[in-house]
DNA sequence: AACTGATGCCAACAGGTGTTGGCAAACGCT
DNA sequence: AGCGTTTGCCAACACCTGTTGGCATCAGTT
């Protein structure tokens, strides 16, 4: 299904397709799914709206293509167990500041069922798989991954979507010592009574 | 501005106004700001769409009225300092499960600037004010409140919006011992190096 | 009973939406 | 050069949106 299956020879319209995708990510990230119109995206990409339909079938199809995302989580089995939280939060912050796809996905997930589904896939499959790799009790893996997701997504939501002043003004480096222990406990700790 | 200012004598249309508000909260919570149409809300309330306009002026006005919300935070100065985290998470969970206004606000805040603004007001003013009440260093109050907001909103986002299975399936009572220590550290702890 | 204001509905407007079909130009191949 | 395919644009459709003005009906007052 994805483009990397076979080395299909490059099409002449690849530049257009890429421009559409780039504009789509920007608009979806800035405006959310419903406010981002195909016409606006096409204008940004300097092509006709009908091109978007031809190459991506529908608005849903365009979003699906634009929201393709890999967390690129490091192999947690290779990380010193005591540093898991810090490695994770650093990785996520870097991933988030460098790629607007996640913001687009986050914004859209609030109102678009497909986007929410995608988000679930990413944070259940990819994250839970990574958490499982360093050998916690399998019975608790899903919950630990969910808790980590809740803090990570909450950070992103307050920092990039709602833009709470204290979360926006604090540099990423200063957030690490606060968030890292939280993730560390979610991953390796026990609940407190 | 609010209705409780003066004992204005009850209008005959109060029932209609209330029905509109109830339907609006439901639709905004379920569909988000743009997908929730005035026509759908009016149908739910069993009145004509033009009534919504007459009583609330515009869609924005309706949302503003429907998203009025008070966190009703307890006086944190009266809480044993060691139990701050637990009291807070319990309060939020109860507040969230019992009133769909917060979910409506959360969904809408992703795409509607006015809703984001409102959310900022609630989680900066109300929460920060409560945090300030138990006498932390004023210089760190805003950041502590922001961190608490990030975990609270992340929990809500994963549980009520994205509906990550592990966060949906876990009963509220089992979440407390995981989240409480996080909030406790954000409120009274120091960052780790 | 007559009047005034509130309450409600209907019909319509103007604008924007995703989406479609057709047609011209450019390209790649034989 | 002649061919079929690809790339692109234009114009339009069908639908839905928030919003408005007018007209009937009802309640309360004089």
Tens of pLDDT along B94-141?
Answer: 999 989 999 999 999 999 999 999 999 998 889 999 999 886 789 999
| Full DSSP string of A95-107 | HHHH-THHHHHHH
Closest Cβ opposite residue B120 in set A124, A162, A174: A162
CB contact under 8 A, B146 and A153: no
Confidence of residue A5 (pLDDT cuts 50, 70, 90): very low
Q: How many residues does chain B have?
A: 193
| CA to C1' distance (Å), from B81 to D17 | 52
Q: What is the pLDDT of residue B9?
A: 65
CB contact under 8 A, B182 and A178: no
- DSSP-based three-state secondary structure for A57: coil
CB crowding B5-32: b at 16 or more within 10 Å, else e: eeeeeeeeeeebbebbbebbbbbbbebb
Rounded to the nearest angstrom, the gap between the alpha carbon of residue A173 and the centroid of all alpha carbons in its chain is: 20
Residue A94, min C-alpha distance to chain B (Å) = 18
CB contact under 8 A, A150 and B149: no
Q: How many residues does chain A have?
A: 193
Nucleotide nearest residue A34, measured CA to C1': C17
- Are the CB atoms for B107 and B63 separated by under 8 Å? no
Determine the Cα–Cα distance for residues A165 and A170; give it in Å rounded to an integer: 8
Determine the Cα–Cα distance for residues A34 and A147; give it in Å rounded to an integer: 29
Structure tokens that stand for A118 in this block? 């995608």
Nucleotide nearest residue B51, measured CA to C1': C8
- Higher-pLDDT residue of A41 and A123 is A41
Whole-model pTM: value is 0.93
Mean pLDDT of B65-86: 95
Tens of pLDDT along A41-75?
Answer: 999 999 999 999 999 999 999 999 999 999 999 99
| CA to C1' distance (Å), from B21 to C8 | 17
Tens of pLDDT along B36-73?
Answer: 999 999 999 999 999 999 999 999 999 999 999 999 99
Nucleotide nearest residue B35, measured CA to C1': D17
């Amino acid at each position: 299904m994805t483009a990397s299956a076979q080395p299909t020879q490059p099409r002449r319209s690849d530049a257009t397709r890429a421009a559409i995708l780039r504009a789509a990510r920007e608009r979806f990230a800035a405006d959310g799914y419903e406010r981002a119109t195909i016409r606006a995206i096409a204008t940004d990409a300097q092509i006709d709206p009908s091109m978007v339909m031809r190459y991506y079938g529908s608005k849903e199809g365009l979003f699906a293509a634009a929201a393709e995302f890999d967390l690129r989580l490091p192999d947690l089995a290779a990380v010193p167990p005591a540093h898991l939280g810090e490695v994770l939060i650093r990785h996520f912050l870097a991933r988030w500041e460098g790629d607007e796809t996640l913001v687009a996905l986050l914004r859209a997930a609030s109102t678009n069922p497909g986007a929410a589904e995608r988000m679930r896939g990413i944070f259940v499959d990819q994250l839970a798989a990574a958490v499982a790799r360093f050998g916690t009790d399998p019975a608790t893996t899903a919950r630990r991954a969910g808790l980590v997701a809740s803090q990570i997504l909450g950070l992103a939501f307050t920092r990039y979507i709602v833009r709470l002043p204290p979360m926006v003004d604090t540099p990423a480096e200063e957030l690490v010592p606060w968030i890292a222990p939280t993730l560390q406990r979610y991953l390796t700790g026990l609940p407190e009574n």
